[in-house]
């Protein structure tokens, strides 16, 4: 009874199990060293099959471990390549961004993160415009990508904040020519553009100065003759006729002053430079204008940096510059207001600013304010030579004059002078006491 049960139940199940092993294991996978005489019964055959299955599993595990090791090495190599690429990106001080074909951010360099003050985790897979809006120089990428960007494109982009960027879009194409990624490179050229504009302005003003000098000399001689004869006629004319001569003389002198301004602008006059404190020059001009400004209800705020180095200046001509700037600021206020005067040192340069909170200068007029006879004032309130003359004086001192203005928010004029040596006001006092 027990034998029958064992034979019918256990042996039958073993045979079923063997059938499964045989289906799983092919004949060639059985260990060749196994003596088939040991497999004359089902239990022996089951043991052999189990050993073959175990050997097969061991081989599979070795292959999986080898494959996993290969994956780890590939992942490490990929990580090293990505780290190297990121290092190259970060070594570039200009803006570099890698975008996919939908203009979503895949990689950026450190300069981009620093400029917009964000972390890459906030930027991954987002568009530039979503983070920086109109302040992103790569906003045009979407338009270019929609047209299937197939070659490098260069654009000069001016942002809402006034910065100017030279932007390059480099497409990365697949083997079939389809767009895969876009490398965006942006270099800020705001200062270069400003230098270029200043160079053009300098050339333009030099040409106008030469013309003005020629015209001034040609007019100056006839005016001298007119004034000389007017003086001679005074002694032989009646009182009524003398009034007419005085009118002639008045307008001739006015023309002579304009001619003198033209000559100043053209730098024809010799300069006498001495070691001068710029703060002292500014304070003396402020004393001259103090009474007039009080009558107009104008408040003057000063912040003059102490211990500025002495500059090699023609004091009288620099006074003329700041007098022109202060008068222009007062006229821009057209009544009560505030004028601010600052001075400071930046490296080997000294800067002085005159700012007002007046009506400002429209953008289309800012480029012309240094041109002779150009004025934003109503007729009869200025010759248009004040800033031109100031420009010529400052340039003749190897300096620079800048104007920034917004309509309704006032105007700021900055005079920049080079420091000839590391000298300070106390050095000047030592020289005088020596």
Domains of the chain: 92-188 (3.30.450.20), 193-265 (1.10.287), 274-433 (3.30.565.10)
pLDDT digits (tens, 9 = 90+) for 229-283: 788 787 777 777 788 888 888 888 878 777 776 666 555 456 678 899 999 999 9
pLDDT exceeds cutoff 70 at 365: yes
Q: How far is CA 156 from CA 138, 142, 159, 167, 196, in A?
A: 11, 16, 10, 6, 15
DSSP 11: I
pLDDT exceeds cutoff 50 at 32: no
Q: What is the mean pLDDT of residues 20-29?
A: 53
Higher pLDDT, 375 or 166: 166
263's tokens: 């000559």
Residue 39 pLDDT = 42
b (16+ CB within 10 A) / e for 242-270: eeebeeebeebeeebebbebbbbbbbeee
DSSP 234: G
297's tokens: 């209800």
Q: How far apart (Å, rounded) are the C-alpha atoms in residues 394 and 267? A: 10
Residue 160 pLDDT = 78
**Which residues are CB-neighbours of 317 under 8 A, at least 6 positions away?**
264, 271, 393, 396
Give the H/E segment covering residue 191: helix 190-233
SS3 call for 85: helix
pLDDT exceeds cutoff 50 at 27: no
pLDDT exceeds cutoff 60 at 430: no
37's tokens: 């005489």
Q: How far apart (Å, rounded) are the C-alpha atoms in residues 428 and 418? A: 17
Q: How far apart (Å, rounded) are the C-alpha atoms in residues 291 and 296? A: 9
Q: How many CB atoms neighbour CB 427 within 10 A?
A: 13
Backbone angles phi, psi at 10, to 5 degrees: -70, -50
Q: How far apart (Å, rounded) are the C-alpha atoms in residues 186 and 59? A: 55
What's the count of helices (H) and strands (E) in the chain, helices before strands? 14, 12
115's tokens: 């400029």
Q: What is the mean pLDDT of residues 65-77?
A: 83
pLDDT exceeds cutoff 90 at 133: no
pLDDT band at 431 (very low <50, low <70, confident <90, very high): very low
Q: How far apart (Å, rounded) are the C-alpha atoms in residues 96 and 183? A: 7
Beta strands in 84-178 (DSSP E): 95-100, 105-108, 153-158, 164-173
Residue 69 pLDDT = 85
pLDDT digits (tens, 9 = 90+) for 155-213: 888 887 788 899 998 888 888 888 888 888 999 998 888 777 766 666 666 666 666 66
Least-confidence region, from 11-25, 72-86, 94-108, 340-354: 11-25
pLDDT digits (tens, 9 = 90+) for 378-415: 555 555 567 777 888 888 888 988 888 888 888 999 99
Residue holding tokens 């053009």?
200
Higher pLDDT, 10 or 131: 131
* Whether 271 contacts 396, CB under 8 Å: yes
**Which residues are CB-neighbours of 341 under 8 A, at least 6 positions away?**
282, 286, 300, 301, 302, 303, 304, 326, 352, 353, 354, 355
pLDDT band at 345 (very low <50, low <70, confident <90, very high): very high
267's tokens: 């730098």
* Whether 158 contacts 164, CB under 8 Å: yes
Give the H/E segment covering residue 412: strand 410-418
Q: How far apart (Å, rounded) are the C-alpha atoms in residues 64 and 66? A: 5
Model pTM greater than 0.75? no
Q: What is the mean pLDDT of residues 301-318?
A: 91
How confident is the prediction for the chain on average, in pLDDT? 76
pLDDT exceeds cutoff 70 at 294: yes
pLDDT digits (tens, 9 = 90+) for 320-339: 889 889 988 888 887 788 99
Q: How far apart (Å, rounded) are the C-alpha atoms in residues 212 and 37? A: 123
* Whether 99 contacts 114, CB under 8 Å: no
Angle between helices 278-295 and 315-333 (to 10 degrees): 30
The listed range with the strongest mean pLDDT (1-5, 18-22, 297-301, 395-399) is 297-301
Q: How far apart (Å, rounded) are the C-alpha atoms in residues 301 and 254? A: 34
Residue 310 pLDDT = 93
Residue holding tokens 């003050």?
117
pLDDT exceeds cutoff 70 at 41: no
* Whether 180 contacts 173, CB under 8 Å: yes
CA 109 to chain centre: 17
pLDDT band at 432 (very low <50, low <70, confident <90, very high): very low
Q: How far apart (Å, rounded) are the C-alpha atoms in residues 86 and 230? A: 82
Q: How far is CA 165 from CA 150, 192, 367, in A?
A: 22, 10, 21
């Amino acid at each position: 009874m027990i034998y029958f049960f064992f034979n019918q139940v256990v042996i039958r199940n073993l045979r079923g199990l063997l059938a499964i092993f045989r289906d799983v294991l092919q004949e060639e996978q059985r260990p060749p060293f196994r003596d088939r005489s040991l497999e004359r019964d089902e239990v022996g055959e089951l043991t052999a099959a189990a050993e073959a299955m175990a050997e097969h599993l061991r081989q599979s595990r070795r292959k999986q471990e080898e494959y996993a090791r290969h994956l780890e090495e590939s992942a490490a190599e990929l990580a090293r390549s990505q780290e190297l690429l990121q290092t190259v990106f970060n070594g570039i001080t200009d803006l570099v961004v890698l975008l996919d074909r939908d203009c979503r951010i895949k990689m950026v360099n450190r300069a981009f993160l620093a400029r917009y003050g964000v972390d890459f985790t906030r930027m991954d897979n987002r568009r530039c415009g979503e983070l920086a809006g109109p302040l992103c120089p790569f906003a045009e990428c979407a338009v270019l990508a929609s047209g299937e960007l197939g070659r490098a494109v260069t654009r000069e982009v001016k942002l809402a904040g006034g910065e100017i960027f030279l932007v390059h879009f480099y497409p990365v194409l697949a083997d079939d020519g389809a767009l895969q990624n876009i490398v965006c490179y942006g270099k800020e050229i705001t200062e270069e553009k400003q230098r270029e504009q200043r160079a053009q302005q300098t050339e333009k003003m030099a040409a106008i100065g030469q013309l003005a000098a020629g015209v001034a000399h040609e007019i100056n001689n006839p005016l001298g003759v007119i004034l000389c004869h007017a003086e001679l006629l005074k002694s032989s004319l009646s009182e009524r006729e003398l009034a007419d001569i005085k009118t002639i003389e008045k307008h001739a002198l006015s023309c002579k002053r304009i001619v003198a301004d033209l000559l100043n602008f053209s730098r024809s006059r010799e300069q006498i430079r001495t070691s001068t404190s710029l703060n002292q020059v500014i304070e003396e001009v402020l004393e001259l204008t103090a009474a007039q400004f009080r009558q107009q209800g104008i408040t003057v705020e000063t912040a003059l940096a102490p211990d500025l180095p002495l500059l090699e200046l023609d004091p009288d001509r620099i006074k003329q510059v700041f007098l022109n700037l202060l008068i222009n600021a007062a006229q821009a206020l057209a009544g009560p207001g505030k004028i601010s005067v600052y001075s400071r040192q930046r490296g080997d340069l000294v800067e002085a600013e005159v700012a007002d909170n007046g009506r400002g200068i429209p953008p289309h007029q800012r480029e012309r304010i240094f041109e002779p006879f150009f004025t934003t004032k109503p007729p009869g309130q200025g010759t248009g030579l004040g800033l031109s003359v100031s420009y010529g004086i400052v340039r003749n001192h190897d300096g620079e004059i800048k104007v920034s203005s917004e309509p309704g928010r006032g105007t700021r004029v900055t005079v920049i002078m080079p420091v000839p040596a590391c000298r300070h006001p106390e050095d000047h006092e030592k020289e005088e006491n020596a």
